[in-house]
Amino acid sequence: SWMEGRSTPMIFSACVREWNNVTFSDIISTVEFNHTGELLATGDKGGRVVIFQREPESKNELFSQGEYNVYSTFQSHEPEFDYLKSLEIEEKINKIRWLPQQNAAHFLLSTNDKTIKLWKVSERDKRPEGYNLKDEEGRIKDLSTVTSLQVPVLKPMDLMVEVSPRRLFANAHTYHVNSISVNSDYQTYMSADDLRINLWHLDITDRSFNIVDIKPVNMEDLTEVITAAEFHPHHCNLFVYSSSKGTLRLCDMREAALCDKHSKLFEEPEDPSSRSFFSEIISSVSDVKFSHSGRYLLTRDYLTAKVWDLNMESKPLETYQVHDYLRSKLCSLYENDCIFDKFECAWNGSDSVIMTGAYNNFFRMFDRNTKRDVTLEASRESSKPRAVLKPRRVCAAGGKRRKDDISVDSLDFTKKILHTAWHPTENIIAIAATNNLYIFQDKLNSEMH
């Protein structure tokens, strides 16, 4: 396994997206590779989507392979105002999902709190030339010189990437959309908000079907919200959604049109000895992801990442401590609202390693086979291009401190890594650290080519 050895072979590849004047709108809010990994999309709080493309292989330059450069940038969402409810609708991109490729163009869904949009990203390398009644600059020709009809001819031109809006899926969510997920049938997708999940046909924008509704008749009885939802990668009828109570529900759409009744409920019984005021908050699931095989589920709560087997509902198969040293600091994390941060998680291509973010621009990886784990840092100060990333270690309060260890008290809680993505087949990862996007790849991966 690539994580073996004393130093991790992850090398710093490129820091491709950064702005000198950091504004709120530059903060990256989602990262997503497409199905081949050739493209990587990020969304930010300013409603923009930036797409990166992997550079084609070059034999001359060492390490040149695997670099991602900006392919296209476009404004996906604009701030809006809901006049009926006197509510501002932020332009922040909550999620991006790529559609399976169907022709030479690429398609992605992007969503803010309310509206989901389908975008087409395509290339054009020809343009028509030749008018009958004017020249190419638009000047009207002297008609006495025009004696025959001319049909325009297509001439090659510099490659141009065009992004065009294809569909707008609006007015279906009363609450904030937290997830979108494309079905393996290639024709439907779902969108989940705090209380409901809707099913859409990709070609139909004027109606969607509600498949889950957990809104109580009386909102005062509300005890739990939906935090994330995802379709099974192969079985078109299965999907999972997670809740703020730390549970996962697997639903089978074959059984009924409404999936209010789940097929399976994954829940870990609470340990009464560790119960505290924060128990419920920190057990809220912030992200759920099916493994590529479809057999396992990866969830993230505030302190841990868990792997569940679809065949075992009673407890997780594996539990990984992401930053257990924060357990003693929950009180101050509650006061500065950090305890409500929603960390996402990711699988590697072979489902053997999982990755998730932490504070101080740290992110964690866990090898499921060797049970090794590593803490790495995404920052420009600590990583030079093509240098090997050094593992970091946080020393718990009162613990024995070694050289280079960072004390819990000196962690920077404003630098958090919430969004990460793993290339679908290779060991290339994308890490969003506030306004910076870091792409790292495993050394082996780059040397092999």
Partner 1 sequence: EEKRAGPASTLYCADGDDSLYPIAVLIDELRNEDVQLRLNSIKKLSTIALALGVERTRTELLPFLTDTIYDEDEVLLALAEQLGNFTMLVGGPEYVHCLLPPLESLATVEETVVRDKAVESLRKISQEHSPVDLEVHFEPLVKRLASGDWFTSRTSACGLFSVCYPRVSSTVKAEIRQHFRTLCSDDTPMVRRAAASKLGEFAKVLELDYVKSDIISLFTALASDEQDSVRLLAVEACVSIATLLPQEDLETLVMPTLRQAAEDKSWRVRYMVADKFSELQKAVGPEITKNDLVPAFQNLLKDCEAEVRAAAANKVKGKRLNIMLPFIRLIQYTNQHVKSALASVIMGLSTILGKDNTIEHLLPLFLAQLKDECPEVRLNIISNLDCVNEVIGIRQLSQSLLPAIVELAEDAKWRVRLAIIEYMPLLAGQLGVEFFDEKLNTLCMAWLIDHVYAIREAATCNLMKLVEKFGAEWAQNTIVPKVLGMANDPNYLHRMTTLFCINALSEACGQEITTKQMLPVVLKMSNDQVANVRFNVAKSLQKIGPVLDNNALQTEVKPVLEKLASDQDMDVKYFAQEAISVLPLA
Give contact residues for partner 1 (rule: CB under 8 A). Answer: 100-105, 107, 120, 122, 124, 126, 128, 131-134, 139-140, 142-144, 146-154, 162, 184-187, 203, 234-237, 253-257
What are residue 82's DSSP bridge partners? 87
Q: How far is the CB of 263 from partner 1 (least distance, A)?
A: 11
Q: How far is the CB of 428 from partner 1 (least distance, A)?
A: 24
Q: How far is the CB of 312 from partner 1 (least distance, A)?
A: 22
Nearer to partner 1 by C-beta: 20 or 148? 148
Nearer to partner 1 by C-beta: 130 or 399? 130
Place of tokens 């990755």: 355
Nearer to partner 1 by C-beta: 262 or 386? 262
Residues 268 and 247: their CA atoms lie apart, in Å, by: 8
Q: How far is the CB of 140 from partner 1 (least distance, A)?
A: 6
Nearer to partner 1 by C-beta: 64 or 237? 237
Helix (H, G, I), strand (E, B) or coil at 130: coil
Residues 396 and 412: their CA atoms lie apart, in Å, by: 15
Nearer to partner 1 by C-beta: 62 or 160? 160
Nearer to partner 1 by C-beta: 14 or 121? 121
Q: How far is the CB of 170 from partner 1 (least distance, A)?
A: 19
Nearer to partner 1 by C-beta: 118 or 408? 118
Q: What distance lies between CA 320 and its chain's CA centroid?
A: 21
Task: Give the residue ranges of DSSP H helices in 152-311.
Answer: 279-283
Q: How far is the CB of 187 from partner 1 (least distance, A)?
A: 7
Closest CA to 392 of 125, 402, 213, 127: 402
Q: How far is the CB of 100 from partner 1 (least distance, A)?
A: 7
Helix (H, G, I), strand (E, B) or coil at 142: coil
CB atoms within 10 A of CB 224: 16
Residues 372 and 366: their CA atoms lie apart, in Å, by: 6
Give 368's contacts (C-beta < 8 A, 6+ positions apart).
307, 318, 351, 352, 353, 354
Q: How far is the CB of 160 from partner 1 (least distance, A)?
A: 10
Residues 242 and 194: their CA atoms lie apart, in Å, by: 10
Nearer to partner 1 by C-beta: 156 or 272? 156
User: Please, are residues 150 and 132 in contact by the beta-carbon 8 Å criterion?
Assistant: yes
Place of tokens 């490729």: 101
The sign one gets for the Cα dihedral 402, 404, 405, 408 is positive
